[in-house]
Amino acid sequence: MAPRLKKNTKDTGSPETSPESATYHQELHDLQIELVKFQRHLIKENEKVLIIFEGRDAAGKDGTIKRFTEHLSPRESRVVALGKPSDREVSQWYFQRYVAYLPSAQEIVFLNRSWYNRAGVERVMGFCTNDQYEEFMETVPSFEQMLVRSGIRLFKYYLDIDREEQKKRLASREHDPLKQWKISPIDLAAQKHWDAYSNARNQMFARTHSALAPWIVVRADNKDHARLQTIRDFLSRVSYKGKKESVVLPDPSTVFLYSRSYLDNGMIAP
């Protein structure tokens, strides 16, 4: 497997993407205006949108979702981050606890992790049996097909970081009192089980990427650049009145549809 390709992916503090940069804030501001335009369109047209964010621990899911939602109407947008399932939920159909959080008309829902826990952390940490894992992998494409055919616009983003970047971010959490709430035993095992998580991710891509519900990969070693490009990619995939095409044009070297070839050429971290 090729080493990970590097192109504008580290948090270098460059003028383009530094959070202190006026350029960064202006770009984010312009994109958030576009998001508000889209939300008005969604409400008017009674659309339903579900955006899934997956990725390794410390990949930047929380921060990316925050930049999406900062200026959206909270009445028509929700962020869902479910915890460990209860004993009752464990006894249910696996997808059952997620169904209650699916979007209604005029609503956009952001899932901070999703049913793909079964393909990732549950698989790696032994929280599900092999039979449960196989059942999930075989049925999730049909489940997502039902969602899409019911009228839900489904977007699946995977925020991809390399091993050294994750190590740096996890260490930062330990020393930042504002981030210590994010630390869990699962986080502490992330580096130890890196290869197992890579294998689980690769199987997830191979078996659950489809024309109706494709995986969109974001190279997220640079948090700020990744946030801008994820918003751009989403906006480029939806229609709404007054869209500024030049504002929403994403960088194809940072965000792209999954392809097996990207595992081989280093676009996706090994």
Residue type, 30: D
**Spatial separation of the C-alpha atoms in residues 21 and 27, rounded to whole Å:** 10
- In this prediction, residue 150 carries a pLDDT of 98
R_g (Cα) of the chain, nearest Å: 18
Instruction: Specify if 127 maps to a domain.
Output: yes
11 falls in which pLDDT band (50, 70, 90)? low
State the CATH number of the domain containing residue 52.
3.40.50.300
- Which residue, 212, 102, 104, is CA-closest to 149? 212
Q: What percent of the chain has pLDDT over 90?
A: 85
For tokens 């793909």, what's the residue? 116
Q: Structural domain of residue 106, as residue ranges?
A: 22-264
- Which residue, 246, 223, 201, is CA-closest to 66? 223
Instruction: Specify if 40 maps to a domain.
Output: yes
Instruction: Specify if 10 maps to a domain.
Output: no
Average pLDDT over residues 128-150: 99
**Spatial separation of the C-alpha atoms in residues 248 and 34, rounded to whole Å:** 8
Per-residue model confidence as pLDDT tens digits over 87-119: 999 999 999 999 999 999 999 999 999 999 999
**Spatial separation of the C-alpha atoms in residues 68 and 72, rounded to whole Å:** 8
- In this prediction, residue 163 carries a pLDDT of 97
Instruction: Specify if 232 maps to a domain.
Output: yes
Instruction: Specify if 15 maps to a domain.
Output: no
185 vs 38: which has the higher pLDDT: 38
- In this prediction, residue 10 carries a pLDDT of 53
Instruction: Specify if 186 maps to a domain.
Output: yes
Question: Model pTM?
Answer: 0.92
Structural domains counted in the chain: 1
24 falls in which pLDDT band (50, 70, 90)? very high
Instruction: Specify if 113 maps to a domain.
Output: yes
